[in-house]
């Protein structure tokens, strides 16, 4: 079989867990050195990207067609076609053109937004180490194909379904399949055909991740052919909607229902009053298009994508757009200290024995343990190697290993020294002390570990911890066999201490203060001991920090935990599962909680938080679980990102306020005018043109400036608040609409075309100007709008004023109006703007308490 021949008939593999490596190599046309680049390219074409999302080749076409999915738009197109068949071709063409222009506008905005987000997501792509033609390459997971040889280590996402070729102390989290939170041990082998997924110990599955150890595996299925893909109908569903998304959807649906009911009533009454049926029908449909917030999804998407681009400039990459609203609303941030508050560069401070004296034996055994372990390389081990690698070059042979885990909090290595098997264990001081029964007094002297000596060791530990040093213990013993188990970690000899320091960042104090100014309370969650955490907190300006230990929250009730999490500034000595408990307890009390994590054990807490935040240097599983990824691990970057999130939220809310109040006001104005007048107040094509012209400036709202006063506090969407705003400002706009009606009918004695022209002019010009009022809580002349918003509004106003004087205006049924109408219109709009500005300040002072 030639390399690169990858037809489906050639790659057919059933029950891969029952096959040996030679069979897999032959069937998958692969080998220990991997496949060729050419073969990989052909397989990628044949099987598609290794993704559950499927191919997006036609996404642009589907996005464009999606602009016409509104039932009202489809009915309007059908009605325009009917009008065309009934010889009213000019109006039909105009209506179809306006619908097409509106749809193209929505498509252009959404397509640009989706492309921008796709480019940003490539910056934080999850990658994996792959052997291709014997060379190790780093590739995105979507490029993995059947037959690839993948190298995995702790923290890696398993990119596809694989069979293990070789492994060492490999433990994997398969909670997505088994629901079991404890890691599962995996190793090479051959199993029976009837082995269920949970018992296939020689296979790794897409959707799981490596907790510890390492492995070399061969990919047997990708994408939808994986076990994960087979249950993807459930797993591929969108992430749960945020409160913002639910609120917007509910409110938009409610507004649309009210609108449609009124439209049906208006249509029935117009027919009852003997107005032309087709005109009445088109009028009602056009009114529905103008009044329903159909641009709302587009505006929200554009605002969020624009916010994501601005946040990217602040070194914050947004993976899930909907998280931006929660990011802006966040009022509690839970974070580990390493790399965010501290410099993230762990250094060895000193090593010493039971008498606080330097010890070559401690140094030597610490280097053995750190250098020879094959699991997850961590900053502690790197610091030890950096400190001692020049002094000790004769490393012994490693015989066995018990990898570090978050329950034992220890790492044991078996080494061969002078033809003896020696176990060297290092880890959390208390966990090491618990397995010791003796203590090393000097190089050749070992004493029983009496209570007095235990007390002395604890005193040493606490003294260094209070000074802010992370203090670990190290111990050893001789064993008979080179292979050991966890049960043999006992009766050991306590050897000494290893102390480390990770200095706080100079920027941390300023960043924490800036977060407080933004209304965000920082809570530190760490596995380090309470004394070290408290010392660090004081160094960065947290006065009299309240420290809660993991042991104190292990068995308390939910109610008691809720009380404790609010009081605490620091959670120390916490276990991985307790991070999630803390997040959920904070959320239960209606807080918007962010969690910042980068470790293997942070995935659950990242999922549980309202906003999961990771960093570009994090392990794959943390980046995959996060909503946002920081390209620079600094709290100051986070503060800047929060500001951008709040700007995005503010601009989204501006459109909601504008659309809902204008729509609600227009319903009353249209309803009254159509019933009081012997003709339609606006022709269908005029309503659609009004809708188009008022939409154009609102699509630039994402670029608008936001007042600093708004940015300085967190905000949440409040449907009740929006309803109040809609009622107050909708009714206010109707008052001035009826003033315009009065001038046109009673003063100017306007005919049908003059009335329609006059109301069209007043409606569009006032809508353009009122945007500048509603967009800020301040007096409108004290808040400068963004240039695109200002320019687009000015251009729309100029276009509308000129339109009745042109042939295009005649096509829409507009006529010239006397100069005195423009004087009256100016007075009415000026009164509207000034009244709205006053009402806005009264509204926020009296009715918007707590918003």
Q: Running DSSP on this structure, what letter comes out for residue 785?
A: P
Q: Can you tell me the mean pLDDT for 484-500?
A: 93
Query: Is residue 131 helix, strand or coil?
Result: strand
Q: Can you tell me the mean pLDDT for 569-590?
A: 85
Please state, as a whole number, how many other Cβ atoms lie within 10 Å of the Cβ of residue 138: 8
Least confident of 41-45, 114-118, 394-398, 496-500: 114-118
Q: Residue 375's pLDDT band (boundaries 50, 70, 90)? A: low
Q: Annotated catalytic sites, by residue?
A: 336
Q: Which helix (H) or strand (E) holds 127?
A: strand 127-132
Look up tokens 């506090």; give the residue.
713
- CA–CA separation, 120 and 307 (whole Å): 12
Query: Is residue 389 helix, strand or coil?
Result: coil
pLDDT of amino acid 6 = 41
Residue extents of the structural domains in the chain: 16-52+130-235, 244-310+642-846, 331-343+504-630, 347-501
Is pLDDT of 429 > 90?
yes
Is pLDDT of 258 > 90?
no
- CA–CA separation, 446 and 177 (whole Å): 49
pLDDT of amino acid 369 = 92
Q: Which is it for the CA torsion 380, 617, 54, 147, positive or negative?
A: negative
Closest by alpha carbon to 536, among 489, 574, 500, 496? 500
Q: Cβ(684)–Cβ(282) under 8 Å?
A: yes
Please state, as a whole number, how many other Cβ atoms lie within 10 Å of the Cβ of residue 225: 18
Closest by alpha carbon to 111, among 69, 73, 54, 62? 62
Rounded alpha-carbon distances, angstroms, from residue 56 to 114, 120, 433: 12, 17, 57
Rounded alpha-carbon distances, angstroms, from residue 333 to 326, 486, 521, 749: 12, 37, 6, 64
CA angle 222, 225, 226 (to 5 degrees): 70
Closest by alpha carbon to 413, among 359, 483, 362? 483
pLDDT of amino acid 112 = 58
Residues 6+ away with beta carbon under 8 Å from 182: none
Average pLDDT score over the chain: 82
Of 569 and 265, more confident: 569
- CA–CA separation, 504 and 171 (whole Å): 33
Q: Running DSSP on this structure, what letter comes out for residue 682?
A: S
**Range with top average pLDDT, 252-256, 276-280, 377-381, 757-761:** 757-761
| Runs of H (alpha helix) within 398-505 | 429-433, 451-466
- CA–CA separation, 237 and 851 (whole Å): 33
pLDDT of amino acid 5 = 41
Residues 6+ away with beta carbon under 8 Å from 378: 404
Of 12 and 443, more confident: 443
- CA–CA separation, 780 and 319 (whole Å): 35
Q: Residue 176's pLDDT band (boundaries 50, 70, 90)? A: low
Q: Residue 8's pLDDT band (boundaries 50, 70, 90)? A: very low
Q: Residue 237's pLDDT band (boundaries 50, 70, 90)? A: very low
pLDDT of amino acid 674 = 75
Q: Can you tell me the mean pLDDT for 760-777?
A: 91
* Cα pseudo-dihedral 561, 562, 568, 573, rounded to 10: 30
Question: How many C-alpha atoms does 360 have within 13 Å on its Cβ side?
Answer: 4
Q: How far is CA 725 from the centre of its chain?
A: 30
Rg (CA), the chain: 34
Of 109 and 327, more confident: 327
* Tens of pLDDT, residues 645-656: 888 888 888 888
- State the burial class of residue 134 (Cβ atoms within 10 Å of its Cβ: 0-12, 13-18, 19+): exposed
Is pLDDT of 220 > 90?
yes
User: For 533-662, where are the E strands, in sequence order?
Assistant: 547-549, 570-572, 593-596, 611-615, 628-630
Q: Residue 325's pLDDT band (boundaries 50, 70, 90)? A: confident
Category of 363 on φ-ψ map: left (φ > 0), alpha (ψ -120 to 50) or beta: alpha
Closest by alpha carbon to 120, among 324, 299, 298? 324
- CA–CA separation, 150 and 196 (whole Å): 24
- State the burial class of residue 155 (Cβ atoms within 10 Å of its Cβ: 0-12, 13-18, 19+): buried
Please state, as a whole number, how many other Cβ atoms lie within 10 Å of the Cβ of residue 43: 23
Q: How are strands ordered across the β-sheet holding 332-335? A: 316-318, 628-630, 611-615, 593-596, 332-335, 521-525, 570-572, 547-549
Q: Can you tell me the mean pLDDT for 784-805?
A: 93
pLDDT of amino acid 351 = 95
CA angle 365, 366, 369 (to 5 degrees): 85
Fold of 16-52+130-235: 2.70.150
pLDDT of amino acid 57 = 41
The pairing of strands 149-153 and 209-221 is: antiparallel
Query: Is residue 575 helix, strand or coil?
Result: coil
Q: Residue 509's pLDDT band (boundaries 50, 70, 90)? A: confident
Q: Which helix (H) or strand (E) holds 422?
A: strand 420-428
Q: Cβ(495)–Cβ(475) under 8 Å?
A: yes
User: For 537-580, where are the E strands, in sequence order?
Assistant: 547-549, 570-572
pLDDT of amino acid 636 = 80
- CA–CA separation, 128 and 403 (whole Å): 22
pLDDT of amino acid 404 = 81
Of 326 and 749, more confident: 749
- CB burial of 695-704 (b: ≥16 within 10 Å; e: otherwise) equals bbbbbbbbbb
Please state, as a whole number, how many other Cβ atoms lie within 10 Å of the Cβ of residue 768: 23
The fraction of the chain above a pLDDT of 90, given in percent, is: 28
pLDDT of amino acid 794 = 94
Superfamily in which the 244-310+642-846 domain is placed by CATH:
Calcium-transporting ATPase, transmembrane domain (1.20.1110.10)
* Tens of pLDDT, residues 799-839: 999 999 999 999 889 999 999 999 999 999 999 999 999 99
pLDDT of amino acid 587 = 87
Fold of 347-501: Calcium-transporting ATPase, cytoplasmic domain N (3.40.1110)
| CATH class (in words) of the domain with range 331-343+504-630 | alpha beta
pLDDT of amino acid 753 = 94
The fraction of the chain above a pLDDT of 70, given in percent, is: 82
pLDDT of amino acid 78 = 65
pLDDT of amino acid 7 = 39
Is pLDDT of 784 > 80?
yes
- CA–CA separation, 513 and 565 (whole Å): 21
Least confident of 4-13, 111-120, 706-715: 4-13
CA angle 799, 805, 807 (to 5 degrees): 95
Q: Cβ(651)–Cβ(302) under 8 Å?
A: no
Query: Is residue 263 helix, strand or coil?
Result: helix
Q: Residue 368's pLDDT band (boundaries 50, 70, 90)? A: very high
Is pLDDT of 425 > 60?
yes
Is pLDDT of 607 > 60?
yes
Query: Is residue 346 helix, strand or coil?
Result: coil
Question: Phi first, then psi: what are they for 800, rounded to 5°?
Answer: -65, -40
pLDDT of amino acid 439 = 96
């Amino acid at each position: 079989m030639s390399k690169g021949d990858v037809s489906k008939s050639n790659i057919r593999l059933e029950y891969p867990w029952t096959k040996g490596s030679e069979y897999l190599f032959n069937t998958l046309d692969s080998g220990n050195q991997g496949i060729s680049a050419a073969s990989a390219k052909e397989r990628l074409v044949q099987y598609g990207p290794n993704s559950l999302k499927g191919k997006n080749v036609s996404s642009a076409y589907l996005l464009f067609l999606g602009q016409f999915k509104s039932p009202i738009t489809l009915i309007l197109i059908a009605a325009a076609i009917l009008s065309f068949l009934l010889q009213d071709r000019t109006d039909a063409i105009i209506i179809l053109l306006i619908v097409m222009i509106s749809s193209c506008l929505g498509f252009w905005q959404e397509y640009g937004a989706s492309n921008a987000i796709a480019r940003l997501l490539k910056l934080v792509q999850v990658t994996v180490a792959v052997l291709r033609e014997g060379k190790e390459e780093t590739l995105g997971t979507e490029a993995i194909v059947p037959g690839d040889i993948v190298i995995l280590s702790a923290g890696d996402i398993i990119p596809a379904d694989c069979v293990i070729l070789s492994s060492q102390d490999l433990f994997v989290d398969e909670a997505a399949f088994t629901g079991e939170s404890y890691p599962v041990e995996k190793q090479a082998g051959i199993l029976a055909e009837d082995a269920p997924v949970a018992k296939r110990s020689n296979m790794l599955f897409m959707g799981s991740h490596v907790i510890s150890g390492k492995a070399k595996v061969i990919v047997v299925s990708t994408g939808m052919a994986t076990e994960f893909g087979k249950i993807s109908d459930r797993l591929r569903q969108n992430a749960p909607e945020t409160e913002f998304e639910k609120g917007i959807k509910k409110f938009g649906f409610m507004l649309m229902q009210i609108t449609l009911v009124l439209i049906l009533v208006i249509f029935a009454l117009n027919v009852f009053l003997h107005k032309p049926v087709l005109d009445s029908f088109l009028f009602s449909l056009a009114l529905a298009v103008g009044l329903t917030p159909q641009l709302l999804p587009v505006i929200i998407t554009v605002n969020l994508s624009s916010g994501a681009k601005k946040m990217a400039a602040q070194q914050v990459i947004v993976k899930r757009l909907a998280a931006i609203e929660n990011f802006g609303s966040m009022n509690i941030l839970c974070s580990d200290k390493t790399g965010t508050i501290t410099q993230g560069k762990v250094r060895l401070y000193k090593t010493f024995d039971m008498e606080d004296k330097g010890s070559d034996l401690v140094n030597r055994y610490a280097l053995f343990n750190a250098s020879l372990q094959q699991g997850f390389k961590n900053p502690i081990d790197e610091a030890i190697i950096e400190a001692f690698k020049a002094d000790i070059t004769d490393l012994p042979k490693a015989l066995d290993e018990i990898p570090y885990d978050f329950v034992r909090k220890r790492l044991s290595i078996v080494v061969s020294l002078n033809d003896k098997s020696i176990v060297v264990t290092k880890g959390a001081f208390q966990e090491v002390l618990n397995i010791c029964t003796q203590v090393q007094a000097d190089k050749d002297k070992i004493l029983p570990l009496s209570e007095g000596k235990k007390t002395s060791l604890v005193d040493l530990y606490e003294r260094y911890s209070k000074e802010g040093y992370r203090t670990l213990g190290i111990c050893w013993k001789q064993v008979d066999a080179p292979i050991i188990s966890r049960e043999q970690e006992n009766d050991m000899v306590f050897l000494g201490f290893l102390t480390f320091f990770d200095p706080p960042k100079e920027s941390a104090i300023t960043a924490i203060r800036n977060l407080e100014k933004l209304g965000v309370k920082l809570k530190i969650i760490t596995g380090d001991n309470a004394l070290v955490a408290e010392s660090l907190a004081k160094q960065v300006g947290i006065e009299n920090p309240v420290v809660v230990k993991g042991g104190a929250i292990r068995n308390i009730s939910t109610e008691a935990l809720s009380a404790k999490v609010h009081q605490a500034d620091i959670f120390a000595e916490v276990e991985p599962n307790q991070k999630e408990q803390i997040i959920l307890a904070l959320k239960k009390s209606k807080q918007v909680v962010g969690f910042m994590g980068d470790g293997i054990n942070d995935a659950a807490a990242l999922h549980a938080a309202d906003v999961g935040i990771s960093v570009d240097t994090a392990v794959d599983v943390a980046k995959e679980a996060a909503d946002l990824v920081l390209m620079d691990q600094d709290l100051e970057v986070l503060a800047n990102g929060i500001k951008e999130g709040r700007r995005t939220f503010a601009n989204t809310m501006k459109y909601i306020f504008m659309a809902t109040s204008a729509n609600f006001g227009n319903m009353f104005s249209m309803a009254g005018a159509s019933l009081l007048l012997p003709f339609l107040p606006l022709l269908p094509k005029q309503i659609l043109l009004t809708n188009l012209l008022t939409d154009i400036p609102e699509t630039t709202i994402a670029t608008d400036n936001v007042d600093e006063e708004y940015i300085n506090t967190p905000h949440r969407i409040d449907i009740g608040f929006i309803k109040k705003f809609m009622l107050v400002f909708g009714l206010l706009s109707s008052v001035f609409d009826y003033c315009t009606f009065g001038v046109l009918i009673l003063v100017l004695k306007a005919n049908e075309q003059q009335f329609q022209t006059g109301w069209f002019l007043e409606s569009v010009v006032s809508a353009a100007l009122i945007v500048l009022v509603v967009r800020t809580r301040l007096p409108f002349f004290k808040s400068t709008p963004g240039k695109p918003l200002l320019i687009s509004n000015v251009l729309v106003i100029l276009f509308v004023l000129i339109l009745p004087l042109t042939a295009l205006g005649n096509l829409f049924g507009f006529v010239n109006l006397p100069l005195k109408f423009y004087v009256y219109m100016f007075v009415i709009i000026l009164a509207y703007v000034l009244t709205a500005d006053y009402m806005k300040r009264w509204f926020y002072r009296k009715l918007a308490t707590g918003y």
